[in-house]
A and B are shown apart, each in its own frame.
Chain A
């Protein structure tokens, strides 16, 4: 078996099939990163999996999952101003949490260097929006590189480090979902000899680091001076690559991807030439589409999305009579490119976003095919969908078999009136908003629920309000909302869905579990925190005790003021995996006994995916799914769900 940790540390050059999230860890090691921090969030948590594959004593850098993205950014910042090359990574919307800290970074002298890996999520595959974080680069004067493939992830991280260390400024590596999760064979170079010093180099002399009064403006000036230098780096960078499909007379240069510094000698006679400026994943999708196009336009593929390589863009615009700007999400490149064309008085038709749909969704090959079909008529045009295909409903995600949240929602629903307002939060328990539970009616972001619930309870004398939270989110961003509820005497009930892990993103530890990424640590129990904050009314119930939980919620909601119920049960997905790893079998699955009178409570209300509806209307148990937790047995009004002595039937024999 190949161990990831082995090739990540290999001294010799090595080629391996990896995802972008793994490739970036090799780049961290090769560049001598000393401190890495993060908060888990898709599409980036596999970076931590790659780090975890290296034994702690062999790991060449310190890594932690911090309590949230803001703290993680501060940890990496602190390390950098002390002379250590650092890196922080988190998901797209994580930067909103980190923003207060993040926007200051460009003003600081980061003497050790610092790279921010942003896992953007065009298409909102696993996020509450698909925000275009390229705007953050503009906002903060922090350069941004955008790789398209795992190989480019590896190369561009190293480039980001070079710039960051030399200019003592942060650099962003923007990796979108299908760059993080794309896989290919990457050729890693030999491990360089690195000499680290643990000497703490922090000194106010390196700064200033205190942006008070007029200093803030001086620091901004310095940031802008650095920005001007980075513009030149972008202009010269071999990551901004031109590919010509229509070489003009006397034009022989090879413009393939790579770091070769070929001087571009573009023929400025443009006749009817078309060009496309693009970057990242849309570039790859475009290349797929171009396989079907005869008259291929030239491409300028950007590695620097901010600052743009202005000279290269100007030359490209001058050399073409029509240029398409192909970018997913917002018109970020388009605005800048149009500005350049205007300033330079270049006569060129620039085609950017054409309608609202161009602003939405990931630029997969299918999407780019649609966008380009609208742009140029000789591109493949959409074909009519085959209308005879059988229809099939989508399969939304759902809670796992045995999930404590299912028991919780089943029980909580019994305590709620139809008029009650339920405020969801982020985590696996967000799935309670889906059928058949429909608990959770409004959601903004991590930790919003208590602030939002407080607002909903104001001037409200008719409808009760209940908010939800997960345990990792409790620490991440929810504590101010809870303090606010106590401090300002708000009237709502908070239900904390405690499953003892950060489940949705892959079971990371959190402050209440007693473990951090590296070691056993002090436990910070939720209840103690709540008591310390001054919450008077706290009930703790195991969610498998459904009746007790229903009663606790009723009691909590009947009370005036702020009350908290901790609805706890360990994540059963993690539990069963741990059991299997330890060589223990899960208990036998349940089965449906003769008493079944087809009330369908197990299917329609409890809705464990284990219970399947046979075409004849009977209910059967999918034994491949059932983990034998038996939390379902109490839900059947006629006690027809029974434990099984041994495994047996499958749908083949039913």
Chain B
């Protein structure tokens, strides 16, 4: 793999950090070079958070360039549109969990809520493959990131990274019941028709 750029986004508190670490380690387990960077600090308090993952031998900076991501991963609907707008290249892939955490302007009725149809329309216009993820049976919102990682794995959205690499990455990052619950959920989602 020469170069593959992934941009992840969501709202502070959604677990973008863990998802990013999981993907970076899965790439590493696949034997490919990976670099990246996360958002820390102030922005995490309910603001937009982003994480950058870059793989391949020809990547240098930790940050993905605007309109250059091959894959955007988002954990919230508004942030999915923003990620697609700002970072995703035409013909790229967007996968997003359809959580709805309205930004202040939407709550104050100063801006319209983003609808899924808007994301679909824009994706069509730019030749983007948009994958909406929503799992009604999921009781724990903090596991939405695992559901998304399973969808990424199932659709082989990251070149050379398979289910085994994700499971090994989980082994690196979690233990006990958390590991068990997340791996079970991950496998259930991967096998889901």
Contact = CB atoms under 8 A, between A and B. Distances in A.
Interface of A: 1-2, 17, 19, 42-43, 45-46, 125-126, 149, 178, 181-185, 281, 284-285, 287-288, 291, 364-366, 369, 386, 388-390, 392-400, 428, 431, 434-436, 504-505, 603-604, 607, 609, 611-613, 615, 622, 624-625, 647, 650-652
A435 B107 CA distance: 12
A284 B61 contact: yes
Contact of A17 (B24, B60, B100): B24
B63 A364 contact: yes
Nearest to B35: A184
A621 to B, nearest CB: 12
A395 B45 contact: no
Given A178-B62, A395-B48, A400-B46, A125 B11 contact: no
17 contacts: A17-B24, A19-B37, A125-B39, A182-B36, A182-B37, A184-B34, A284-B61, A285-B60, A288-B59, A364-B63, A365-B61, A389-B85, A390-B85, A393-B103, A395-B47, A612-B102, A625-B101
Interface of B: 11-13, 24-25, 28, 33-48, 58-63, 65-66, 78-79, 81-82, 85, 99-114, 118, 122, 125-126, 134, 136, 139, 141, 171-175, 179
A126 B12 CA distance: 14
Which of B85, B104, B108 is most buried by chain A, counting CB atoms within 10 A of its CB?
A: B104
Contacts of B35: 149, 182-184
B107 A613 contact: yes
A392 B85 contact: yes
A428 B46 CA distance: 11
Given A42-B40, A397-B44, 11 more contacts: A1-B179, A126-B42, A183-B24, A184-B62, A365-B63, A386-B126, A389-B122, A393-B103, A434-B104, A624-B101, A624-B141
Given A181-B40, A395-B11, A613 B109 contact: yes
Nearest to B20: A183
B100 A612 contact: yes
A82 B151 CA distance: 57
B44 A284 contact: no
B47 A396 contact: yes
B97 to A, nearest CB: 11
Nearest to B62: A182
Contact of B103 (A365, A366, A395): A395
A288 B61 contact: yes
Nearest to B46: A398
Contacts of A17: 24-25, 28, 34
B87 to A, nearest CB: 10
Nearest to A436: B108
Contacts of A178: 37, 61-63
A400 B108 contact: no
Nearest to B65: A365
Contacts of B33: 185
A388 B124 CA distance: 13
Contacts of A149: 35
A470 to B, nearest CB: 13
B141 to A, nearest CB: 4
Contacts of A650: 136
A536 to B, nearest CB: 35
Nearest to A398: B46
A504 B85 contact: no
Given A1-B175, A436-B108, A622-B101, A504 B42 contact: yes
Contact of A287 (B34, B60, B112): B60
Nearest to B109: A613
Nearest to A181: B37
Closest 5 CB pairs of A and B: A397-B47, A42-B41, A126-B41, A624-B141, A287-B60
Contacts of B44: 397
Contact of A291 (B43, B58, B102, B179): B58
Contacts of A291: 58, 60
A40 to B, nearest CB: 10
Most chain A CB neighbours (cut-off 10 Å) among B101, B122, B126, B171: B101
A392 B78 contact: yes
A392 B81 contact: yes
Contacts of B62: 178, 181-184, 284
A45 B41 CA distance: 9
A435 B104 contact: yes
A390 B118 contact: yes
Contacts of B81: 390, 392
Contacts of B79: 395
A399 B108 CA distance: 16
A178 B38 CA distance: 8
A393 B43 contact: no
Contact of A397 (B42, B111, B179): B42
